[in-house]
Amino acid sequence: MFSRRSAFAREPNALARATVHARARGQALIDLTLSNPTAAGLPYERERILRALADARALTHEPAPFGVEAAREAVAVELARDGLVVPADRVVLTASTSEAYAWAFQLLCDPGDAVMVPAPSYPLLEHLATLSGVRLVHYPLVYDGAWHVDAELLRRACSPDARAVVMVSPNNPTGSFTKTGELAAFAALGLPIISDEVFARYPAGDDPTRIRSALDTDRVLVLALSGLSKLAALPQLKLGWMAVGGPDVLVREALARLELIADSYLSVAAPVQHALPELLSATRSTTAALRHRIGENLGVLQRALAGSAVTPLHVEGGWYAVLRLPRTRSEESWVIELVERAGVLVQPGWFFDFPDEPYVVVSLLTPPAELEQGLGHLVQLVGRD
């Protein structure tokens, strides 16, 4: 009666069960998995945001498949702040980056085709691909003091039925930006690039070798994804976009096909489209505070873990940090013990397809005092092991 693509596993994993049991017995948990910026104690210009969403133009329906012109122009202006010249007519608005992925898969793939994705990477990609009838093929991110893409391993991972390659810069959760040479290796595959750039505004430092965007190459079709969720710390307003780049003939064909896909959904709500220019302006102070929070927490991380058996891996950007734990026990055992004995909730590496273990991922959105306390408990538990 139901489709195979909707038959996701629903049984809670061991960590989820341990967390539920801990909370049921009244145990207070320090949550180091925070992903929602609106719950992170950041400053928002509330009145400006609310006024922007009350624009009277939202009362009129404008069925524009790629979004209203003023909103697309606002995205083009925003991209120009990063030095990217993207005409507004190459901007496609979506209800989220997740929807942008779905449209990209529909544009480029037939059911059963493959898309290359990095490992480690965000587990949502698996769900989005399955719902679109697409199979994922992983290429490895290699760590040797910093994360990088090995061009030869990338080429070997490219299967004959691959129709696109996903590039995430900076990656979630490794925080690694794509470098100029790596972008050349991606383009050399000859496949369209779906480039997830939602965390690009949150670098941990300067690096002249990293790219601004996959739009820096014109060798292949590029769909560069971003949106309000991360760029403006407004995940609840559900507006994303894809900027289309590459050879003109491919861009024209992609936009012609995307127009039918977008027109079939007309998913982006009018209020957020008309509010977009003001929302981007009104959240500058929020994202500045968020960048300060991330920088402060990277310092907390180094101080809290100094001299311990917990090793923080190099972070180049984004909202997360990866920690390597001692191999004295399994990753599952570590994360459950952290909940049950230390009262600390982290994300295990298996969520993100790390090739080995034990790794855990912590959020740099966490208020610094809370992060310091949670890391202190983690270090104490590791030291007792």
- Taking only the tens place, the pLDDT of each residue in 15-45 is 999 899 989 999 999 999 999 999 999 999 9
What CATH number has the domain bearing residue 336?
A: 3.90.1150.10
In a shared domain, residues 218 and 72:
yes
What is residue 371's predicted lDDT score, i.e. its pLDDT? Answer: 98
Using the predicted structure, report yes or no on whether residue 385 has a pLDDT greater than 90.
no
**Average confidence (pLDDT) over 127-152:** 96
In a shared domain, residues 225 and 343:
no
Domain C-terminal end among 282, 312, 346: 282
CB 193 within 8 A of CB 116: no
In a shared domain, residues 256 and 326:
no
CB 303 within 8 A of CB 329: no
In a shared domain, residues 101 and 36:
no
- Count structural domains, the chain: 2
In a shared domain, residues 276 and 335:
no
In a shared domain, residues 220 and 132:
yes
**Average confidence (pLDDT) over 121-147:** 95
- What mean pLDDT, rounded, does the chain reach? 96
- Taking the alpha carbons of 8, 122, 253, 262 in that order, is the dihedral positive or negative? positive
Using the predicted structure, report yes or no on whether residue 333 has a pLDDT greater than 80.
yes
Domain of 252? Answer: 60-282
What is residue 254's predicted lDDT score, i.e. its pLDDT? Answer: 98
What is residue 279's predicted lDDT score, i.e. its pLDDT? Answer: 98
Instruction: For 65-120, write each residue's pLDDT tens digit.
Output: 999 999 999 999 999 999 999 999 999 999 999 999 999 999 999 999 999 999 99
pTM of the model as a whole: 0.96
DSSP string covering 48-75, please?
HHHHHTT-GGGGS----TT--HHHHHHH
Using the predicted structure, report yes or no on whether residue 159 has a pLDDT greater than 80.
yes
What CATH number has the domain bearing residue 167?
A: 3.40.640.10
Domain C-terminal end among 221, 247, 282: 282
Q: Using CB atoms within 10 A of its CB, is residue 335 exposed (0-12), middle (13-18) or buried (19+)? A: buried
Cα–Cα distance for residue pair 346/33, rounded to 1 Å: 6
CB 279 within 8 A of CB 52: yes
In a shared domain, residues 248 and 374:
no
In a shared domain, residues 358 and 240:
no
Q: Identify whether 225 is part of a domain.
A: yes
Percentage of residues in the chain having pLDDT higher than 90: 95
What is residue 9's predicted lDDT score, i.e. its pLDDT? Answer: 84
Percentage of residues in the chain having pLDDT higher than 70: 100
Q: Identify whether 226 is part of a domain.
A: yes
What is residue 97's predicted lDDT score, i.e. its pLDDT? Answer: 97
Q: Identify whether 54 is part of a domain.
A: no
In a shared domain, residues 105 and 225:
yes
What is residue 240's predicted lDDT score, i.e. its pLDDT? Answer: 98
**Average confidence (pLDDT) over 126-150:** 96
Cα–Cα distance for residue pair 297/293, rounded to 1 Å: 6
What is residue 288's predicted lDDT score, i.e. its pLDDT? Answer: 98
Domain C-terminal end among 253, 282, 311: 282
The C-alpha angle 177, 237, 81, rounded to 5 degrees, equals 45
Q: Identify whether 3 is part of a domain.
A: no
In a shared domain, residues 79 and 167:
yes
Instruction: For 355-383, write each residue's pLDDT tens digit.
Output: 999 999 999 999 999 999 999 999 999 98
Q: Identify whether 218 is part of a domain.
A: yes
Give the confidence band of 8 by pLDDT, cuts at 50, 70, 90: confident
Q: Identify whether 82 is part of a domain.
A: yes
In a shared domain, residues 234 and 260:
yes
Using the predicted structure, report yes or no on whether residue 384 has a pLDDT greater than 90.
no
Name the nearest CA neighbour of 371 among 288, 296, 272, 278.
296
Q: Identify whether 37 is part of a domain.
A: yes
In a shared domain, residues 273 and 350:
no
Q: Identify whether 6 is part of a domain.
A: no
Instruction: For 170-220, write each residue's pLDDT tens digit.
Output: 999 999 999 999 999 999 999 999 999 999 999 999 999 999 999 999 999
